[in-house]
Amino acid sequence: MKIPYYPGCTLKTKAKDFEDSAIAAARVLGIEMEELPRWNCCGTVYSLSSDDLIHQLAPIRNLIRAKEQESDRLVTLCSMCYNTLKRANEFFLADEEKRERIKRYLDDEIPYEGDVRVVQLLELLRDEVSMDAIKEAVKKPLTGLKVAPYYGCMLLRPASIGIDDVERPTVMEDVLRALGADVIDDPYKTECCGAYQTVSQKDVVATCAHSILTSAQGNGAEVIALSCPLCDFNLDNRQKEVQERFNGFHPMPVLYFTQLMAIAFGLDPSVCRFELSYNDPVPLLKSKGLIE
């Protein structure tokens, strides 16, 4: 299955580990994620003002790029990109008058009517690949690895675009379970990571990250799995600030779910780019005999 893939800025820089592991792991399952030519910024944060049409142009232009590939779908990895692209398309579809105005700004593009569906890789795994197929592809089951999935907000909210139940999502649990991991159900899995407060108010983010990480640890988790580069930054890199502010905090590794897929599929660990993690996951994975 070939599907156009929208990377977004972070996956080419700080979250290269996410991109490389995802592309390699998806390939094992027969999914060719083909990077969209000429993609541009996703819009970063979905604009909530109803008359702010100019903010919708960037995401819609990306959907047009997918349409140029003669696809009616576009897959994303980054939760933020998923959210912005999907919501821009919903906005575009919902209001005819605004749609016509947006189209006038885009008269240099091929005609677009909102017919490209934005999907996140987890959705694709659940709805088209199936957990059984994932199970079959596993060569090194993650037996004994205690993983707490963390969704954050962008995959689930608002409910109209969420990839799963907004309050009790299970898709990442299902994938991790198919990989053989010991899945830890953590109540903080949909709580806020602190998001962009990380730029100016590290304290806020450190507090959020501390709650999330200690809750997961309290429930027995050894590693967090997630799908958003911003969450990853806040939960992984900000552990430095967490340690400075909270006595007795023990750091823990944070991984993209695709890195765990790559390991379980027996791929060369170099696709996981573990060197990009702030807290090195290698000792843990080694101790479980998952990498050498």
Of residues 38 and 250, the one with the C-beta less far from another protein: 250
Of residues 37 and 248, the one with the C-beta less far from another protein: 248
Of residues 136 and 165, the one with the C-beta less far from another protein: 165
Q: Which residues are CB-neighbours of 31 under 8 A, at least 6 positions away?
A: 1, 3, 124, 129
Of residues 197 and 237, the one with the C-beta less far from another protein: 197
Percent of the chain as helix, strand, coil, to the nearest 5 = 50, 10, 40
Q: Shortest gap between Cβ of 58 and another protein (angstroms)?
A: 30
Tell me the residue ranges of DSSP E strands in the chain.
Answer: 2-6, 32-35, 73-76, 117-120, 146-149, 182-183, 223-226, 254-256
Q: Shortest gap between Cβ of 219 and another protein (angstroms)?
A: 8
Phi-psi region of 279 (alpha: psi -120 to 50; beta: other; left: phi over 0): beta
Q: Shortest gap between Cβ of 166 and another protein (angstroms)?
A: 8
Chain mean position to CA 244: 28
Q: Shortest gap between Cβ of 250 and another protein (angstroms)?
A: 18
Q: Shortest gap between Cβ of 258 and another protein (angstroms)?
A: 27
**b/e for 141-157, b at 16 or more Cβ within 10 A?**
ebeebbbbbbbbbbbbe
Of residues 215 and 243, the one with the C-beta less far from another protein: 215
Of residues 40 and 170, the one with the C-beta less far from another protein: 170
Q: Shortest gap between Cβ of 167 and another protein (angstroms)?
A: 4
- State both tokens at 71: 């696809």
User: What CA–CA distances, in Å, run from 248 to 84, 136, 242, 245, 251?
Assistant: 38, 41, 10, 10, 10
Q: Shortest gap between Cβ of 207 and another protein (angstroms)?
A: 11
User: What CA–CA distances, in Å, run from 21 to 173, 216, 257, 264, 272?
Assistant: 18, 24, 9, 11, 5
Question: Residue 222: which of 175, 283, 276, 273 has the closest Cα?
Answer: 283
Q: Which residues are CB-neighbours of 100 under 8 A, at least 6 positions away?
A: none
Q: Shortest gap between Cβ of 215 and another protein (angstroms)?
A: 7
Look at residue 39 and give its three-state secondary structure: coil
Could you list the residues that contact another protein (CB under 8 A)? 165, 167-168, 187, 215, 218
